[in-house]
């Protein structure tokens, strides 16, 4: 099956591009605001649930943070490749809408969790139902020429950055309305559900996004360009098919997927332990932050991401720069920022923002350039974009499973150590993986003919 090539009608294509990119930006933005709302408080939420369930030891309690974080990405790992391939057969639009309605249901359910196992199951189901990242990138590949790809991946990246800026800020403010707002929220129910309001808000945002998509998002993949191949075998074979068949993809595509997986492992190790570190008391070496303070930090990270992906990546300078060099530079800068984190002090606050800016800059350069190169390579070898992006997201999800679990175990074993193998260890590991990601792409030889990055 050949990758999708644009329909012959320039008028139809132009209409699809204009309406598709505009509404896709809004859908991704609203979806990401809802998704990132949970970032400032999720760690504290799981710590509270673990404590209620009897895990009072710091290491064992914080281990559950990594497990619950991994549950979401485990669901993605199992089902995103299937959703990506499904979008090749039935179109991108219905799969995107399914992911949005799934978010609505499970965000709200998560806010009602009163025990670890319920939280674990709900996060798994939320991840299983949301394959929108892979399908969105395939959608962009459908409607874009090779020359448009980097800028358009940057536009969607800007939506990610803007969502990452707004979401944590709102999430931090909405946490614990009983204490922060009083009035209507000054009841015993809200006192016992301090994290429900931001989860409810996130669910409603996803519902709004669903409404926009169902009314205004056009289908990018016409019927004649869809895969008609029926999946054979049992569910397990269907589940693992795209992951196993990555060995049949071109060598550059394999390397790009590998680099992305290693980078994401590094990034999620940091992401899992960042709030564990900032939430530690100053006396124990942490920063003493609460959910609101972490919301401000992540809002700043999102702002930098918007500037990088929404402004710089659309500039003429970015279009002239080599995509591979930008990708490697992004990994390096992000890794250096991660390695700096455990050496921070709470004051002055501006110093805390420097490594976070480096992480946002590095990630902002890596994501759109890596996705651009992957899309160009897939197109040049006539591979189904849904399958390729589904495979990447599948392996990316596997990385986001490994990252939180490894981070949680390393953190649990080192957080109370008095020697050099203390809480710094997990961040050093994250930096080492960033270096490994750079080394892994040394043998990358691009085959597509587009030399203008």
DSSP symbol at 383? -
Q: How confident is the model at residue 212 (pLDDT cuts 50, 70, 90)?
A: confident
- Read off the pLDDT of residues 24-81 as tens digits, 9 standing for 90 and up: 787 777 777 877 788 888 888 998 999 888 888 878 888 898 888 888 878 877 787 7
Tell me if the domain spanning 10-225+235-440 has CATH number 3.90.190.20: no
Is the pLDDT at 451 greater than 50, yes or no? Answer: no
Phi, psi of 227 (to 5 degrees): -70, 135
Is the pLDDT at 1 greater than 50, yes or no? Answer: no
- Read off the pLDDT of residues 284-341 as tens digits, 9 standing for 90 and up: 888 988 888 888 888 888 888 878 877 887 788 877 888 888 999 999 999 999 999 9
Which residue has better confidence, 138 or 341? 341
Q: How confident is the model at residue 453 (pLDDT cuts 50, 70, 90)?
A: very low
Residue 9, phi-psi category: left (phi > 0), alpha (psi -120 to 50), beta (remainder)? beta
What is the distance between the alpha carbons of residues 313 and 326, in angstroms, rounded to a whole number? Answer: 10
pLDDT score of 133: 72
Rounded to 5°, the CA angle 317-321-326 comes to 115
Q: How confident is the model at residue 5 (pLDDT cuts 50, 70, 90)?
A: very low
- Read off the pLDDT of residues 76-117 as tens digits, 9 standing for 90 and up: 777 877 787 788 888 888 888 888 899 899 999 999 998 899
Q: How confident is the model at residue 118 (pLDDT cuts 50, 70, 90)?
A: very high
pTM of the model: 0.73
- Read off the pLDDT of residues 232-262 as tens digits, 9 standing for 90 and up: 444 455 556 555 666 666 778 888 888 999 9
Using CA atoms, how far residue 113 sits from 12, 122, 162, 194, 357, in Å, is 47, 9, 28, 11, 34
SS3 286: coil
Residue 176, phi-psi category: left (phi > 0), alpha (psi -120 to 50), beta (remainder)? left
Average pLDDT, the chain: 81
Residue 27 near residue 140 (C-beta atoms within 8 A): no
pLDDT score of 12: 42
pLDDT score of 248: 63
Q: Is the peptide bond before 348 cis (omega within 30 degrees of 0)?
A: yes
pLDDT score of 373: 86
* Other CB atoms within 10 A of residue 295 CB: 26
Residue in the structure block whose two tokens are 């570190």: 277
pLDDT score of 434: 94
- Read off the pLDDT of residues 339-354 as tens digits, 9 standing for 90 and up: 999 999 888 888 999 9
Percent composition of the chain: helix, strand, coil (DSSP 3-state, to 5): 80, 0, 20
* Other CB atoms within 10 A of residue 417 CB: 12
pLDDT score of 239: 55
Mean pLDDT to the nearest integer, 397-424 = 86
């Amino acid at each position: 099956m050949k990758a999708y090539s644009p329909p012959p009608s320039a008028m139809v294509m132009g209409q699809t591009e204009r309406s598709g990119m505009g509404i896709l930006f809004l859908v991704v933005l609203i979806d990401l605001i809802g998704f990132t709302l949970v970032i400032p408080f999720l760690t504290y939420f799981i710590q509270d649930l673990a404590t209620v369930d009897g895990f009072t030891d710091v290491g064992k309690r914080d281990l559950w943070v990594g497990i619950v974080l991994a549950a979401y990405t485990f669901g993605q790992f199992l089902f995103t490749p299937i959703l990506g391939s499904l979008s090749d057969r039935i179109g991108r639009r219905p799969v995107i809408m399914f992911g949005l309605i799934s978010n609505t249901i499970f965000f709200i359910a998560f806010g009602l969790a009163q025990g670890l196992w319920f939280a674990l199951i709900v996060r798994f189901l939320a991840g299983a139902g949301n394959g929108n990242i892979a399908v969105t990138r395939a959608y962009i590949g459908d409607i874009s020429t090779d020359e448009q790809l980097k800028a358009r991946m940057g536009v969607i990246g800007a939506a990610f950055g803007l969502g990452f800026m707004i979401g944590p800020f709102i999430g931090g403010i909405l946490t614990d309305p009983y204490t922060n707002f009083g009035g209507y929220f000054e009841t015993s129910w809200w006192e016992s559900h301090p994290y429900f309001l931001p989860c409810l808000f996130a669910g409603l945002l996803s519902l709004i996004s669903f409404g926009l998509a169902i009314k205004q998002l056009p289908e990018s993949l016409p019927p004649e360009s869809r895969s008609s191949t029926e999946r054979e075998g049992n569910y397990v074979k269907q589940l693992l098919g795209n992951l196993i068949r990555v060995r049949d993809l071109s060598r550059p595509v394999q390397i790009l997927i590998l680099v992305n997986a290693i980078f994401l492992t590094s990034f999620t190790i940091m992401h899992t332990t960042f709030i564990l570190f900032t939430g530690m008391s100053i006396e124990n070496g942490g920063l003493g932050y609460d959910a609101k303070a972490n919301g401000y930090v992540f809002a700043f990270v999102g702002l930098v991401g918007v500037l990088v992906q929404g402004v710089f990546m659309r500039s003429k300078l970015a279009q002239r720069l080599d995509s591979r060099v930008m990708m490697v530079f992004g990994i390096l800068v992000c890794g250096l920022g991660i390695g700096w984190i455990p050496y921070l002090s709470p004051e002055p606050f501006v110093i805390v923002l420097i490594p976070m800016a480096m992480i946002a800059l590095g990630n902002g350069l890596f994501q759109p350039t890596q996705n651009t190169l992957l899309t160009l390579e897939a197109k040049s070898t006539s591979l189904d974009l849904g399958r390729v992006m589904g495979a990447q997201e599948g392996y990316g999800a596997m990385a986001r499973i490994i990252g939180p679990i490894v981070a949680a175990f390393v953190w649990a074993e080192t957080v109370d150590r008095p020697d050099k193998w203390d809480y710094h260890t997990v961040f050093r590991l994250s930096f080492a993986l960033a270096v490994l990601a750079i080394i892994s792409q040394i043998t990358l030889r691009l085959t597509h003919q587009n030399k203008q990055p």
